[in-house]
Amino acid sequence: MTADSLSDTALTRPMTDPFGRRISYLRVSVTDRCDLRCFYCMSEDMTFLPKADLLTLEELDRLCSAFIHKGVKKLRLTGGEPLVRRNVMGLVRSLSRHLKSGALNELTLTTNATQLAKYAAELADCGVRRINVSLDTLDPDKFRTITRWGDLDHVLAGIEAARAAGLAVKINAVALKNMNEDEIPALIDWAHGKGMALTLIEVMPMGEIGEGRIDQYLPLSLLRGRLAQKYTMTDLDETTGGPARYVRVAETGGTIGFITPMTHNFCESCNRVRVTCTGTLHTCLGHEDASDLRKPLRASASDEQLSDAIDRAIGLKPKGHDFIIDRRHNRPSVSRHMSVTGG
């Protein structure tokens, strides 16, 4: 075998963690910035990273492509809010070449929908087929309270633009004690009535947000018990290797996913890793692990150092997360904010 073929083999080596899980899903934050300030995610006066610290769009493209060459089949762009990154659609269009080649099965994103009216048609033209939208309430006043200044009508218009462009939309809702817990049935009926799936998520203890999460935390086991009084729910075997456990609702025909980082460790089939907008690789959302990919990315025009750094990081991926709300000290399990890590 020649030196070149050895190098090619290293660059395309499949990513398998110490527990035999094949890594095929990459979530990449393109920015830590957001045009909303959801109170369970950010403090009102967030200090964002200097723009000079962020990877360029060209570097993000190269980084994503390196992961695709190593076996990633699903790529999700996140933030912050990914669509507020200047010229982000240039990155989406460039990455779509991997869909055309067959190297990538899916290119998608998670968004708050504030920019969807502007970009939905172009996203569809780039080969994006489905998106996740974060939306916790259908009450305009509650929406403004949760997001601190968001306009619900603007978000709903973005969702309709996405549907009109042919994008499948899944709604992600964080269950918040004493805020939206009584509204979950209305969210289910609304989403399923429009042919959209809904996933419910427990609040995650990530980053200082200026208030305690104990007051926000609603166990989904409790919520599911309440929903069972109204709906007939059948467990599904469906899995994406991710954290959600799905049920089919007989009354609506739609599906509900339950993501329970606090009440159930969902890591046994984890197939994903996350990269921040600064090029830091986190192999687990609930750990403080971090591997710098920016340095090897910038060290050489070749991807050999980058590929080796990825392999080393995957080799340290933990078996599961350790999320817990620290009731004694009222502090988060993980110091970094979700907006930095990527949703």
Domain ranges of the chain: 14-341
CA of 85: how far to CAs of 80, 81, 150, 156, in Å?
9, 8, 18, 21
Q: What is the pLDDT of residues 142-175, one digit of tens each?
A: 999 999 999 999 999 999 999 999 999 999 999 9
Greater model confidence, 100 or 43: 100
Per-residue pLDDT of 42-83, as tens digits, reads 888 888 999 889 999 999 999 999 999 999 999 999 999 999
Tell me the β-bridge partners of 233. 249
| Residue 76, marked binder | yes
Q: Does residue 27 have a known ligand-binding role? A: yes
Q: Is 64 annotated as a binding residue?
A: no
Residue 129's closest CA among 109, 113, 115?
A: 109
Does the annotation list 128 as a binding residue? no
Which amino acid is residue 318, in one-letter code? Answer: P
**Tens-place pLDDT, residues 207-249:** 454 555 567 788 999 999 999 999 999 999 876 656 789 999 9
Q: Report how far residue 332's alpha carbon sits from residue 310's, in angstroms, rounded to the nearest whole number.
A: 27
Nearest CA to 181 among 130, 134, 217, 127? 217
Annotated binding residue at 270? yes
Q: 257 a known binding residue?
A: no
pLDDT at 270: 82
Domain 14-341 CATH superfamily: Aldolase class I (3.20.20.70)
Task: Give the integer Cα–Cα distance in Å for 137 and 30.
Answer: 26
The predicted pLDDT at position 265 comes to: 55
126 annotated ligand binder: no
Chain Cα centroid distance, residue 231: 28
In this predicted structure, which of 126-130, 181-185, 204-208 has the lowest mean pLDDT?
204-208
